[in-house]
Amino acid sequence: MTEVVDLLQRLIRVDTTNPPGNETAAAELLRDYLEAAGVVCELHAKVPERANLVARIPGRGGGPSLALLSHTDVVLADAREWQREPFGAELVDGEVWGRGALDMKGEVAASAVAMATLAREGWRGEGDLIFIAAADEEVGDGFGLQWLVEAQPDAVRADFSVNEGAGDRVELGGKVLYLCSTAEKMSSPFVLRVHGRSGHASMPGIADNALAKAAPLVERLGSFSVEPRLIPEVEGFLNALLGDVPPAPDALTAARAIAPLAGELIEPLLGMTCAPTMAHASDKRNVIPALCEITVDTRLLPGQSPAEAEATIRAYLGEGDYELVNIEGQGGTRSQIGGPLWDAVQSFVEAEEPGAVAAPICVAGFTDSHWLRQAFDTVAYGFFPARAMDSETAARLIHSADERVPVEDLELGVRWLRHAAQSVCG
Ligand SMILES: [Zn+2]
């Protein structure tokens, strides 16, 4: 059995379901493993039971630093939905089963094995190689990387980082792409507050029903669209796919002509999106509501502001008896496409699969890469290559039942992270 499989099995058997997390047990397991290989480790914890592990192979000096970033917490698993014990870590037909196998103890284990094997070989780069196994990514209550960048900035500062987020191998019209996430959309939900006047529901004529007034606005939001525009990540993706970049209005058609999946990948990246998802009006059947609140899930392109989004939604809806309230903004950071880490991704893909290319992508979800980009301007990519399991299957298993990872992909991951360290740290 390979080292990465053994380490992953031990990590899965430590239940770090968040909440409550209890990531310290995983951090200690990783510390013991890395210290045995001669890697210097530190635990940093805001509260004792939720430790983050930071380990380091110090550089000889002068070169850029690279952080192998991951999180040790996992989401809830309901054993009744699973075919196998979620924390049993069984190895079946070349796959390790268990909560966190894909998200993301597999990459935690691969990162630790990359560190340990390099350390045992006596490897040192010019820059530091850093391993960060953070707590509390899934909930984000301030015990993990968000806390680390504020409380222990010197421990986690890095010029480059590799994290989860992408790495999927996709075949589009005969072309093989490995997706590398270089940016994230911003989640910036709004509440649409539609006003009316309350009254007894037996006499609708004397009231002004906010729920009924909201209906046309909801319908309009349901078909929200904006003029397409091309962000650098989509330009890079199209260039990898087509060999050139069509004008924005033709981009979706051009991608779909290659493969439906190519269209699905870029469609949400051509502009901000809006989707009404929750509604609240009267609390009583016999009371006509004076207020109807519609929650609108809104995703912005990196670089767009909530103020810009608000103006766009207002212009789309037109004048009316409503307010638009922004709830919060989260994410929306990007890193440059290009430079030593990009070159490492590209050269790895070419070596592993001649003819395949790396393609940048902007993801809709939020990852810990955000904190490093925001705090240190780190060039942070989401790239953990996967090809033994197709990306649609993997997407269905993440945060769901029967999560599992092929051993082949774990070994591919170890090779990638070693390659990244040796290419970037020099
Ligand atoms: Zn994750």
What's the CA-to-centroid distance between 107 and ligand 1, angstroms? 10
User: CA neighbours within 13 Å on the CB side: how many for 283?
Assistant: 0
Q: What is the dihedral of CA 358, 363, 368, 370, to 10 degrees?
A: 100
What's the CA-to-centroid distance between 100 and ligand 1, angstroms? 8
The Cα-based distances of 120 to 34, 37, 93, 124 in angstroms read 10, 6, 30, 10
Instruction: Tell me the per-residue pLDDT of 252-310, one tens digit each, with 9 for 90 and over.
Output: 999 999 999 999 999 999 999 999 999 999 999 999 999 999 999 999 999 999 999 99
For residues 189 and 59, give the distance between their C-alpha atoms in angstroms, rounded to a whole number.
Answer: 43
The Cα-based distances of 34 to 42, 74, 114, 115, 204 in angstroms read 11, 21, 10, 8, 71
What's the CA-to-centroid distance between 164 and ligand 1, angstroms? 6
What's the CA-to-centroid distance between 48 and ligand 1, angstroms? 22
β-strands 357-363, 175-184: how paired?
Answer: parallel
Q: What is the pLDDT of residue 166?
A: 97
Q: Tell me the residue ranges of DSSP E strands in 26-146.
A: 40-45, 51-57, 66-71, 91-92, 95-97, 129-134
What's the CA-to-centroid distance between 138 and ligand 1, angstroms? 7
Cβ atoms of residues 394 and 322 within 8 Å: no
Q: What is the dihedral of CA 59, 161, 153, 28, to 10 degrees?
A: -80
Q: What is the pLDDT of residue 1?
A: 60
What's the CA-to-centroid distance between 364 and ligand 1, angstroms? 13
What's the CA-to-centroid distance between 121 and ligand 1, angstroms? 30
Q: What is the pLDDT of residue 278?
A: 97
What's the CA-to-centroid distance between 200 and ligand 1, angstroms? 49
For residues 275 and 336, give the distance between their C-alpha atoms in angstroms, rounded to a whole number.
Answer: 29
Structure tokens at 408: 């082949």
Which positions of the chain have pLDDT values less than 50? none
- By the CB criterion, residues less than 5 angstroms from ion ligand 1 are 103-104
- CA-nearest of 165, 303, 307, 178 to 231 is 303
Q: What is the pLDDT of residue 365?
A: 83
